[in-house]
């Protein structure tokens, strides 16, 4: 589980302790935020966790696209949608 307050490390520590930081991220699956001048610059995350996030994002996007297609299909069947032979016809209709 990801904690509410992620661990932070100054960018200067990366060169000194990169192996220790990487090992901790791999072990705990918790991201580490790298700070430059006390501002978040990048995050170090476990690769498998990153892949899980990418997969979840893809699946959510796919579900939303399918829902949009279904809604469009319902509108088409209910004759609420106009069909234009081309984009030019659509653009010319509003002139």
pLDDT on residue 3: 66
74: which 2 tokens?
Answer: 């319902």
pTM of the model: 0.63
- Residue ranges of E strands in the chain: 7-10, 32-36, 39-44
3-state class (DSSP) for residue 39: strand
Which is the CATH superfamily of the domain at 1-45? YefM-like domain (3.40.1620.10)
pLDDT digits (tens, 9 = 90+) for 6-19: 899 999 999 899 99
Tokens of 48: 């498998």
Question: What is the full per-residue pLDDT of the chain (95 aa) written as tens digits?
Answer: 566 788 999 999 998 999 999 999 999 999 999 999 999 999 999 999 999 999 999 999 999 999 999 999 999 899 888 888 898 888 888 76
Cβ-contact 21, 14 below 8 angstroms: yes
Q: What are the sequence ranges of the domains in the chain?
A: 1-45, 48-95
> Given the DSSP bridges, would you call strands 7-10 and 39-44 parallel, antiparallel or unpaired?
unpaired
């Amino acid at each position: 589980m990801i904690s509410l307050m992620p661990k932070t490390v100054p960018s200067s520590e990366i060169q000194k302790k990169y192996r220790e930081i990487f090992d901790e991220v791999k072990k705990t699956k918790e991201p580490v935020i790298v700070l430059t001048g006390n501002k978040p610059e990048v995050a170090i995350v476990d690769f498998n966790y990153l892949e899980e996030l990418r997969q979840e994002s893809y699946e959510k996007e796919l579900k939303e696209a399918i829902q949009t297609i279904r809604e469009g299909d319902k509108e088409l069947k209910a004759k609420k949608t106009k069909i234009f032979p081309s984009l030019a016809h659509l653009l010319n209709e509003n002139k």
